[in-house]
Amino acid sequence: MKPINIALDGPAAAGKSTIAKRVAAKLSMIYVDTGAMYRAITYKYLQLNKTEDFSSLVQSSVLSLTYDEEKGQRVILDNQDVTDYLRENDVTNHVSYVASKEPVRTFAVEKQQELAEKKGIVMDGRDIGTVVLPEAELKVYMIASVEERAIRRQKDNELRGIQSNVEQLKQEISDRDQYDMNREISPLKKAEDAITIDTTGMSIEDVTNEILNLVSKF
């Protein structure tokens, strides 16, 4: 198989990261979770008492990704491993706002494009097929019903010892999608040449196999 990049986009909690990790492992490719980069900047934004100076926020930031055999992708911000803070509610509730700001997007997209230069990357996000890697060999747009996404998120939370309410999760997921789809810069949308997979009712295994099957055509 010749080296390729895979762009995996879709709304919140559609299972992109779970699938991207598996596809990357099966194909010995590198998985890049771009949401984690926006989350890291959001973590710093909160630490700086919600600064509105987004240019200074990113100019003062040194952000890199490292890979741990056991724990997978780690996000290093200003010499600190911040990965374990990135799923906190406060970060989740502010990330779409921070990610809508132009300096933040320019900063993150540049890093993402650098990472993908050598190919062999499975990258998940919202604008990978449309903006970050418009030349990606394979583009997948993953969707699922909001009901199912909320239930999956609740199960994930349970595994992490966090109790959550499905109705509230449905609301939060829908709000985040609306914000991401309607922002001015690089809104969440399907690239024209992306293949849509509706994962509602599908197992992780089935979705992974469907993507591996698409890759096998290269």
Q: Which spans of this chain sit near ligand C5P (rule: CB under 6 A)?
A: 12, 34-35, 38-39, 95-96, 99, 125-128, 176, 180
Phi, psi of 192 (to 5 degrees): -55, -35
Least Å distance, CB 18 to ligand C5P, is 11
User: Closest CB to ligand C5P among 113 and 218?
Assistant: 113
Least Å distance, CB 217 to ligand C5P, is 25
Say whether 72 counts as a known binding-site residue.
Answer: no
Cβ-count burial 42-67 (b if 16+ within 10 Å, e if not): bbbbbeeeeeeebeebbeeeebebee
Say whether 12 counts as a known binding-site residue.
Answer: yes
Say whether 14 counts as a known binding-site residue.
Answer: yes
User: Closest CB to ligand C5P among 29 and 153?
Assistant: 153
Least Å distance, CB 79 to ligand C5P, is 22
User: Closest CB to ligand C5P among 99 and 207?
Assistant: 99
Say whether 7 counts as a known binding-site residue.
Answer: no
**In whole angstroms, what is the distance from residue 8 CA to residue 23 CA?**
11
How many C-beta neighbours within 10 Å does residue 40 have?
A: 26
User: Closest CB to ligand C5P among 180 and 208?
Assistant: 180
Least Å distance, CB 1 to ligand C5P, is 25
C-beta pairs of 165-172 under 8 Å, 24+ apart in sequence: 169/13, 170/146, 172/92, 172/93
Least Å distance, CB 80 to ligand C5P, is 19
Say whether 16 counts as a known binding-site residue.
Answer: yes
Say whether 111 counts as a known binding-site residue.
Answer: no
Sequential DSSP letters for 28-46: T-EEEEHHHHHHHHHHHHH
User: Closest CB to ligand C5P among 152 and 176?
Assistant: 176
Annotated binding site for ATP: 10-18
Annotated binding site: 10-18
